[in-house]
Chains A and B, each alone.
Chain A
C-alpha cells in the first residue's frame, strides 16, 4: 500500500496564480484533512472531509477551496495565491471516530512545499 500520497512535492507560484494540490489515499479511509505547517505554529487545519461529497472548514480556511468527489481523493485549491500562503501543506486521512476505531491515528502524506513569490 502506498498510504497517503501528495502531488506535487514542490511548487513555486507567482502571486495571483492558481493551483490544485492532490491527495490520494488507498486505505479506504472515510476522513481526510488538509493542514498547513508554518514555523512555530505547528499544524493548522485548513479543511476536512468526513466522506465523499462532504467538506467542512477548519481553523484557517480563507483563500482555499477543497473538493472530495471520490472517496480516495481530496483536492486543495488556491484560486489566487498570495505570499502568505507560502507553507508546507500536509494531507492526512483516518478512519471514522467511534466503535473499533476509537483512538485511531491520522496517516500523513509526505507534504508539499509551496512558495508564492
Chain B
C-alpha cells in the first residue's frame, strides 16, 4: 500500500524568504501523480501544484516549485518570496493511475510566515 509522509509538523519562514516543505512517499508503482494542497485558516483546500511521475521536469507555479526526486521518492515544495497569505497547512498527496480512485494524503505541515 502507498504511504505519504510529511515529517515536519510545523515550519516558520520570514516574509520574503524561501522555505522548503518535505514530503516522502512509498510506492511500487511507476506511474502516478503527486500534489500539494494548501489549507488556509478558512479550511478550504486549494490545489497548489501537481507533478506527473513520468515528467522529469519539476513543476512550477509562480512562486511555488517542487523538487521531485523519483528514485528517492521525495517531493518537496519550495515557496519563494514568502507572503503572509502563504500561512496555512500544506498537505502532500499521492494518486495512483492504476485504477484506484483514492488520493492518499500526508499528515500536513503547518507553515507560519513571520512579518
Q: Could you tell me if B45 and A108 are in contact, using CB atoms closer than 8 angstroms?
A: yes
In Å, the complex CA distance between A90 and B33 comes to: 21
In Å, the complex CA distance between A40 and B97 comes to: 27
Q: How many Å from the CB of B66 to the closest CB on chain A?
A: 14
Interface size class of B (residues with CB under 8 A): 20 to 34
Chain A binder among B11-19, B74-82, B102-110 = B102-110
Q: Could you tell me if B106 and A111 are in contact, using CB atoms closer than 8 angstroms?
A: no
Q: Could you tell me if A97 and B97 are in contact, using CB atoms closer than 8 angstroms?
A: yes
Q: Could you tell me if B106 and A97 are in contact, using CB atoms closer than 8 angstroms?
A: no
List chain A residues, Cβ under 8 A from B105: 42-44
The answer to whether the Cβ of A22 comes within 8 Å of any Cβ in the partner chain is no
List chain A residues, Cβ under 8 A from B102: 45, 48, 58
Q: Could you tell me if B91 and A103 are in contact, using CB atoms closer than 8 angstroms?
A: no
Q: How many Å from the CB of B45 to the closest CB on chain A?
A: 4
Q: Could you tell me if B44 and A108 are in contact, using CB atoms closer than 8 angstroms?
A: yes
Query: Chain B 11-52, CB within 8 Å of chain A: the 1/0 string?
Result: 000000000000000000000010101000011111100101
List chain B residues, Cβ under 8 A from A41: 107
Q: Could you tell me if B101 and A97 are in contact, using CB atoms closer than 8 angstroms?
A: yes
Q: Could you tell me if A105 and B91 are in contact, using CB atoms closer than 8 angstroms?
A: no
The answer to whether the Cβ of A50 comes within 8 Å of any Cβ in the partner chain is yes
Binding site for A on B (CB under 8 A): 6, 9, 33, 35, 37, 42-47, 50, 52, 91, 95, 97, 99, 101-103, 105-108
